[in-house]
Amino acid sequence: MGVINFSKTNCKHCYSCVRACKVKAVKVKNDQAEILEERCIACGKCIKACPKNAKEIESDVYVIKKFLEDGETIAVSLAPSFVVAFETLSDKICGALKSIGFNYVEETAIGARLVNKVYEEYASRLDETCYITSCCPSLNELIQKHHSELIPNLVPVISPMACHGRLMKEKYGQDTKVVFIGPCIAKKNEAKEEDSIDAVMTFEELISLFQCKNIDLGKCEKIPLDAIATKERIYPILGGITDSMDKNKIKRELLHVHGMEQCLTVLKKIKNGRFKDRFIEMSLCDYGCINGPAMPESELIIQEKQQLIRKYANKDEKYADSLEEFCNKISMGKTFDAKLKPLKEPSEKEIREILENIGKYSSRDELNCGTCGYDTCRDKAVAVYNGMAELTMCLPYMKQKAENLSNVIFDITPTIVVVINKKNDIVDLNPAAETFFKIKKKWAIGINLSALMEVDMINELTQSNENSISKKAYLKEQNATVLESIIKIKDSDSMLIVINDFTETLNQEEKYQQMKINAVEVAQYVIDKQMRVAQEIASLLGETTAETKVSLTKLKRLVQGEEVD
């Protein structure tokens, strides 16, 4: 895992980090941003760009706390930009560090003294090679990972941090733990390849450590640093490296380049042979290390920061300690290896297929808006092919897709939908509303809703604190019984009117009810009729039965010889 990562819980697929990363070291997978270590140069641009502060920076604070707890001898290499980070309290940093348990505090600028000697030697050469300073670790990573053909242009010397670390190991003993404190995140990566640096802490992390240890910087003692270097203190500002060099030894033209955009432009020109016989001071941070990604927030403008550094560098101070006796014991050389891992190149057919999947069927569809973080739609397609980006990162495509879906729903729904503004003027309405109100959309837009229906419910909602209201209503003009819902649209002065017309349903129910009544009446009539028939039958049966009985009785008497009346 690299020194920078993103919190999965906070990342909101806004692609700000992708847009900020000029080397495209941010991968998006399942709407989550991830850092590609093989491409990352730890410049920290993504951290500054993240609106959700979803950053996770690898920290050595716990390692340093362990050093302190174990009673280790600890020597601090303090970057000169600390005078900008802590401003008026910078003269108390040494006292604060020693009160915590750090044993020695020296300026990193001491290492810059020896690095300058190597730079001066290369600046005095008369060949046509364009030499580039190599004290910015992000710049070194940029060249090693993305422009490896320019590695021969880097001055092959260790950084002031590494040099100072080696000097302190010689001076205080190899078992001494050396901690670098500065404004740079990329130093954490550099330290992994440098045995003389045991831990790296940014100024922001130092402030957190002070808070953890309940250190009030304002109440700390003013203690001078154990070893200093004066003119090299201007290293953190633009032009500071070459300004601190011996001008008598420089025999070629100097260039000061800062910021990602300028550095990329100059590197491209060096490749094209535009610059020759130059000595170029490069820093990926705008205006140098005083604008590093781990510098605390400050209201100071760049010019004020530069003044602080120059004022500090011009102090009339003597070296608190000489390290000349240790200079010959350390190696200053550095080998820069190519770390380039080029992306896979898709064929033209594969690019076209990817573009067509996001609705880009011709060059006219390729807006190259850059919202996804890539300069062109084709660059985005290459990223998709390499698994670094997702199709859904295309905002115009997703917007069109969402609009198409919402338009389909808006157009085909049988529900009546009307959008009005705060003045009750119609902003939009769907086909169902056109049919219901018997008005064409082009004529309806802009007229007041009161011309079509009563607006009592709208006024009621406007005057209340509610966000919506629903009621059954009868619309006289349309002779319709409806369920009317009015909804305030969030973060807007508009309201949504949704009307469900159930007049036909009511009519159907009335018809059904009448049919039931008719059926009951018919059934009752049949029942009554049957009862009358039954009664008539019973009456007839009663009469005939009586007559039959009389006749049979007479017949019986006759048979028996009796007299019959």
Are 329 and 170 in contact by the 8 Å Cβ rule? The answer is yes
Choice between 53 and 110, residue whose per-residue pLDDT is larger: 110
More confident residue, 146 or 500: 146
How far apart, in Å, do the first and last CA atoms of the chain sit? Answer: 134
Dihedral of alpha carbons 320, 324, 327, 329, sign = negative
Inter-residue contact 390 to 29 (CB < 8 Å): yes
Give the whole-angstrom CA distance, residue 35 versus residue 508. Answer: 64
pLDDT for residue 2 is more than 50:
yes
The helix/strand/coil state of 389 is coil
Q: What is the pLDDT of residue 415?
A: 86
DSSP code string of 259-277: SHHHHHHHHHHHHTT---S
Torsion of CA 386, 392, 395, 401, to 10 degrees: 140
Q: For residue 27, what are its two tokens?
A: 């991968």
User: Residue 484: which of 401, 417, 387 has the closest Cα?
Assistant: 417
Please name the residue that has the structure tokens 């002779």: 479
Q: Which helix (H) or strand (E) holds 400?
A: helix 395-412
Exposure string over 359-397, b if 16+ CB within 10 A, otherwise e: ebeeeeebeeebbbbbeebbbbbbbbbbebbbbebbebb
Q: Could you read off the pLDDT of 377-432 as tens digits, one per residue?
A: 999 999 999 999 998 888 887 777 776 666 766 777 788 888 888 888 988 888 88
Q: How confident is the model at residue 536 (pLDDT cuts 50, 70, 90)?
A: low
* 3-state DSSP of 91-133: HHHHHHHHHHCCCEEEECHHHHHHHHHHHHHHHCCCCCCCEEC
Domain 1-58 has CATH 3.40.50.620: no
Phi, psi of 397, deg, nearest 5: -65, -45
Q: Is 64 left (phi over 0), alpha (psi -120 to 50) or beta?
A: alpha
Q: Return the bridge partners of 446, or none.
A: none
- Token pair 């108390």 is at which residue? 92
What's the pLDDT at 320? 47
Q: Give me the phi and psi of 335, to 5 degrees please.
A: -105, 125
The amino acid sitting at 433 is A
Tell me the per-residue pLDDT of 12-47, one tens digit each, with 9 for 90 and over. Answer: 778 889 999 999 999 988 888 889 999 999 999 998
Lowest mean pLDDT among 128-137, 360-369, 473-482, 546-555: 546-555
Q: Superfamily assignment of 415-501 in CATH? A: PAS domain (3.30.450.20)
Residue 516 above 60 pLDDT? no
Round to whole Å and give the CA distance between 65 and 67: 5
Residue 481 contacts residue 502 (beta carbons within 8 Å): yes
Q: Which residue spans of the chain are classified as CATH 3.30.450.20?
A: 415-501
**Alpha-carbon gap, residue 294 to 311, rounded angstroms:** 22
Q: For residue 175, which amino acid is it?
A: D
Q: What is the structure's pLDDT at 557? A: 64
161-175 mean pLDDT: 95
CATH 1.10.15 region(s) of the chain? 348-401
Nearest-angstrom CA–CA distance, 113 and 230: 10
Name the segment(s) of the chain with CATH classification 3.30.70.20.
Answer: 1-58
Residues above pLDDT 70, as percent of the chain: 86
Question: 348-401 adopts what CATH topology?
Answer: 3-methyladenine DNA Glycosylase II; Chain A, domain 3 (1.10.15)
Is the distance from CB of 204 to CB of 291 less than 8 angstroms? no
Mean pLDDT of the chain: 86
- Among 163-177, 321-335, 417-431, name the most confident range: 163-177
